[in-house]
């Protein structure tokens, strides 16, 4: 490092980076068939424009509006009862697996071997529960046990249960240890240590996170219908397939309203936790919402009882993954396609997010700020699956549409985060350059970006870990990758093939997570 030489010691790696980055991007573009120029193509734009123009006026057909209302209620009910199930599943798992309650962490007792083995098993279970996307859970349950909203509730319960289990455990681990250690030293049980020491400390955070998850669950349950599991997605799926723009328009409006409403409720609820009266109101509200949800869903469940025997038969067939060579080759190409779609989509979103973040933060012209912020909200508020369906319309079937959908949706997510980073970056370096006469772009590149970039890259990598799961399900709307193969396998009742595909999804998502964690550590 301490070299007097005029030769850059990092020359080789910089050169490699400068050459490899565009080459990798180009290779990914070639493989996925994503050509940005195609977007500027008149035909493509025309097709998309005709469809989008059809959104106006939104459909106001009586029966359709009636259906919309009914499915909105179903969506809310699915999300609420699904989240309740997730809490019932996640909390005990968190209590069993959290290191914050382990006696060896709290008072240095040697842990029992069988107990450690059980914990490892439960942690692995949590990974599988949250590693399989909620939509895939729903698809599996619809195939295994039949129609309706029950599979959707169970799917949310399982996927979110896995997620809550992990996050609850982490929240407990981040609390100060003293009170818990004192109780544990006096011989209190695991549950007692939780109830008397950790719960009082962590309650607000636990509740606040659960409320936030409820907000996510609403977004998730709104697209569950894409796999036949009830709710608004059912209508959206049909309207999109039939290319009925007016109906899609109405649904989009409804969707935006629903998201805004839940975000509002979520914000108010999280503020309410801090006061006694607010807490009581929140508890009452939660219980009545849950009761209403179950009342609403109950008739549907009664009419289509859950087929437990079918579930068992399904599990037997399912638990024998296909490992035939030719099929594995096919899965391998699906894995590669999914990987490239997620990576390219995230990389393009990095660029898109950066370009949108500048005007959305305090760096651009003031009049541009509000519209760009609105655009960002729109991009990230519209569900990824819907972007997938629109992208298929614009670019045709296949992975290219997946790339576009991910790029657009993630640009919205990253744009907002990037703008926050910019607003938190001290402007000194940039200002110093400006006062020595540097141009706007040069100030940005020399003064601002080097400070914001590490954070931006970390955000993008985080998002990539999420996008690999989304890329795996975008195939459900025809955007290539493993999702399309999975949907086909499950439609044809080739359950052992489906098992292999889900295994591949899990491995892929685990691999990307590990790689991304390694990269982030190198960056930090």
Partner 1 sequence: MNIAKLSVAGLLLAAATLSHAEALLKVSAIPDEAPTELQRKFAPLGQYLEKELGMKVQFVPVSDYAAVVTALNADQIDMAWLGGFTFVQASQRGKVVPLVQREEDSRFTSKYIVNADSGISKLQQLKGKSFAFGSASSTSGHLMPRYFLQKQHIKPEAFFKSVGYSGAHDATVAWVSSGKVDAGVLNASVWDKLVEAGKVDQSKVKLLGTTPPYFDYNWTVRGSLDKKLQQKIQQAFLKLNAANPEHKAILDLQRASRFIPTKAANYKGIEAAAKEAGLLQ
Partner 2 sequence: MSLRFDAASLSLNGHRILQPLTLQLAQGEQVALIGPSGAGKSSLLLLANSCHRPDGGSIQLLGEDPWQLRAPALRRLRSRIGSVYQHPPLPALQRVVTAVGAGQLGRLSTLAALRRLLWPQDVAAIRDALQRVQLGDKLWQRCDRLSGGQRQRVGIARVLYQQPELLLADEPVSALDPRLADDTVALLCADARQRGATLLVSLHSVELALAHFPRLIGLRDGRIAFDLPRAQVTPPLLAALYAGEQPAIADEPALGSGIRIAPC
Which of 116, 238, 275, 362: binder of partner 1 (CB under 8 A)?
Answer: 238
State the minimum distance, in angstroms, from the CB of residue 313 to partner 1. 8
Checking 238-246 for CB contacts under 8 A at 24+ apart, the result is: 240/386, 240/389, 240/477, 243/51, 243/54, 243/393, 244/54, 244/59, 245/51, 245/52, 245/53, 245/54, 245/55, 246/54, 246/55, 246/57, 246/58, 246/59
The interface partner of residue 427, options being partner 2, partner 1, none and the CB cut-off 5 to 8 Å by kind, is partner 2
Give one word for 478, left, alpha or beta, with left for phi > 0 and alpha for psi -120 to 50. left
CB under 8 A: which stretch of 14-22, 297-305, 339-347, 402-410 binds partner 1? 297-305
Of 94-113, binders to partner 2 (CB under 8 A) are none
Query: From CA 313, how far away is CA 318, in angstroms rounded?
Result: 8
State the minimum distance, in angstroms, from the CB of residue 490 to partner 1. 7
Task: Lay out the site mask for partner 2 across 17-46 (x = CB under 8 A, - = otherwise).
Answer: -x----------------------------
Tell me the two tokens of residue 168. 């609850």
- Binding of residue 445 to partner 2 (CB under 8 A): yes
Q: What single string gives the DSSP state of each residue in 446-515? A: IIIHHHHHHHHHHHHHHHHHHHHHHHHHGGGGT--SHHHHHHHHHHTT-HHHHHHHHHHHHHHHHHHHHH
Q: How far is CA 405 from CA 136, 349, 386, 389, in A?
A: 19, 10, 8, 8
- Binding of residue 60 to partner 2 (CB under 8 A): no
Query: From CA 507, how far away is CA 502, in angstroms rounded?
Result: 9
Its sign, for the CA torsion 127, 131, 134, 135, is negative
- Binding of residue 325 to partner 1 (CB under 8 A): no
State the minimum distance, in angstroms, from the CB of residue 272 to partner 1. 26
- Binding of residue 393 to partner 1 (CB under 8 A): yes
Which of 36, 176, 310, 426: binder of partner 2 (CB under 8 A)?
Answer: 426
Question: What letter does residue 195 receive in the DSSP assignment?
Answer: I
Query: From CA 71, how far away is CA 152, in angstroms rounded?
Result: 13
State the minimum distance, in angstroms, from the CB of residue 246 to partner 1. 14
Nearer to partner 1, 152 or 417 (CB): 152
The interface partner of residue 243, options being partner 2, partner 1, none and the CB cut-off 5 to 8 Å by kind, is partner 1
Which of 375, 429, 458, 519: binder of partner 2 (CB under 8 A)?
Answer: 429
- Binding of residue 310 to partner 1 (CB under 8 A): yes
Nearer to partner 2, 8 or 178 (CB): 8
CB under 8 A: which stretch of 10-18, 193-201, 376-384, 398-406 binds partner 2? 10-18
The interface partner of residue 50, options being partner 2, partner 1, none and the CB cut-off 5 to 8 Å by kind, is partner 1
The closest alpha carbon to 504, from 28, 131, 159, belongs to 131
- Binding of residue 502 to partner 1 (CB under 8 A): no
Of 403-442, binders to partner 1 (CB under 8 A) are none
Give one word for 146, left, alpha or beta, with left for phi > 0 and alpha for psi -120 to 50. left
Burial status of residue 502 (CB atoms within 10 A of its CB: 0-12, 13-18, 19 or more): buried
**Count of residues that interact with partner 2, criterion CB under 8 A:** 33
- Binding of residue 354 to partner 2 (CB under 8 A): no
Which of 6, 37, 40, 110: binder of partner 2 (CB under 8 A)?
Answer: 6
In sequence order, which residues have a C-beta less than 8 Å from that of residue 501 and are 6 or more positions away? Answer: 331, 334, 482, 485, 486, 489
CB under 8 A: which stretch of 170-178, 190-198, 209-217, 394-402 binds partner 1? 394-402
Query: From CA 267, how far away is CA 287, in angstroms rounded?
Result: 18
Decide if 282 contacts 206 (C-beta within 8 A): no
Of 220-249, binders to partner 2 (CB under 8 A) are none
In sequence order, which residues have a C-beta less than 8 Å from that of residue 451 and are 6 or more positions away? Answer: 425, 426, 429
Q: Which residue has the tokens 């219908």?
A: 225
Nearer to partner 1, 333 or 373 (CB): 333
CB under 8 A: which stretch of 65-73, 425-433, 458-466, 509-517 binds partner 2? 425-433
- Binding of residue 423 to partner 2 (CB under 8 A): no
Tell me the two tokens of residue 418. 């990037």
The interface partner of residue 228, options being partner 2, partner 1, none and the CB cut-off 5 to 8 Å by kind, is partner 1
- Binding of residue 120 to partner 2 (CB under 8 A): no
- Binding of residue 302 to partner 2 (CB under 8 A): no
Site of interaction with partner 2 (CB under 8 A): 1-4, 6, 8-10, 14, 18, 426-429, 431-439, 441-443, 445-447, 450-451, 453-454
Site of interaction with partner 1 (CB under 8 A): 43, 47, 50-51, 63, 142-147, 225, 227-228, 234, 237-238, 241-243, 298, 302-305, 307, 309-310, 392-393, 396-398, 478, 487-488, 490-494
């Amino acid at each position: 490092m301490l070299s007097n030489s005029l030769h850059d010691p990092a020359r080789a790696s910089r050169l490699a980076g400068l050459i490899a980055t565009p080459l990798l991007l180009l290779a990914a573009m070639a493989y996925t068939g994503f050509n940005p120029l195609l977007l500027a193509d008149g035909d493509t734009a025309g097709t998309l424009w005709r469809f989008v123009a059809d959104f106006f006026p939104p459909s106001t057909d009586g029966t359709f509006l009636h259906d919309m209302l009914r499915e909105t209620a179903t969506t809310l009910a699915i999300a609420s009862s699904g989240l309740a199930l997730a809490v019932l599943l996640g909390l005990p798992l968190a209590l069993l697996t959290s290191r914050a309650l382990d006696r060896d962490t709290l008072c240095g007792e040697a842990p029992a071997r069988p107990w450690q083995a059980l914990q490892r098993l439960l942690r692995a279970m949590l990974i599988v529960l949250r590693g399989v996307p909620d939509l895939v859970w729903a698809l599996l349950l619809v195939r295994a046990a039949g129609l309706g909203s029950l599979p959707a509730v169970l799917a949310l319960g399982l996927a979110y249960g896995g997620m809550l289990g992990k996050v609850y455990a982490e929240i407990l681990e981040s609390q100060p240890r003293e009170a818990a250690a004192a109780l544990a030293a006096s011989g209190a049980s695991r549950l007692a240590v939780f109830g008397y020491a950790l719960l009082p400390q962590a309650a607000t955070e636990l509740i606040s996170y659960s409320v936030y998850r409820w907000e996510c669950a609403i977004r998730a349950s709104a697209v569950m219908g894409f796999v036949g599991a009830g709710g608004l997605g059912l209508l959206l799926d049909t309207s999109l397939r039939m290319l009925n723009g007016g109906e899609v328009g109405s649904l989009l409006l409804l969707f935006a309203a629903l998201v805004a409403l839940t975000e509002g409720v979520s914000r108010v609820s999280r503020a309410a936790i801090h006061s006694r009266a607010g807490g009581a109101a929140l508890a009452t509200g939660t219980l009545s919402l849950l009761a209403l949800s179950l009342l609403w869903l109950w008739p549907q469940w009664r009419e289509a009882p859950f087929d437990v025997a079918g579930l068992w038969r399904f599990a037997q067939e399912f638990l024998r993954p296909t490992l035939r060579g030719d099929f594995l080759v096919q899965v391998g190409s699906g894995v590669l396609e999914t990987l490239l779609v997620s990576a390219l989509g995230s990389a393009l979103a990095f660029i898109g997010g950066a370009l949108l973040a500048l005007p959305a933060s305090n760096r651009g012209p003031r009049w541009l700020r509000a519209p760009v912020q609105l655009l960002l909200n729109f991009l990230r508020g519209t569900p990824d699956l819907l972007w997938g369906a629109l992208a298929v319309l614009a670019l045709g079937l296949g992975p290219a549409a997946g790339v576009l959908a991910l790029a657009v949706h993630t640009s919205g997510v990253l744009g907002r985060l990037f703008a926050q980073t910019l607003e938190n970056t001290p402007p000194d370096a940039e200002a110093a350059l400006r006062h020595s006469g540097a141009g706007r772009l040069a100030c940005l590149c020399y003064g601002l970006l080097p400070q914001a970039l590490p954070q931006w890259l970390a955000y993008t990598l985080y998002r990539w870990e999420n996008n690999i799961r989304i890329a795996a399900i975008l195939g459900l709307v025809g955007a290539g990758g493993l999702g399309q193969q999975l949907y086909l396998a499950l439609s044809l009742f080739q359950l052992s093939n489906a098992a292999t595909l889900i295994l591949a999804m899990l491995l892929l998502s685990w691999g990307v997570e590990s790689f991304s964690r390694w990269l982030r550590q190198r960056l930090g």
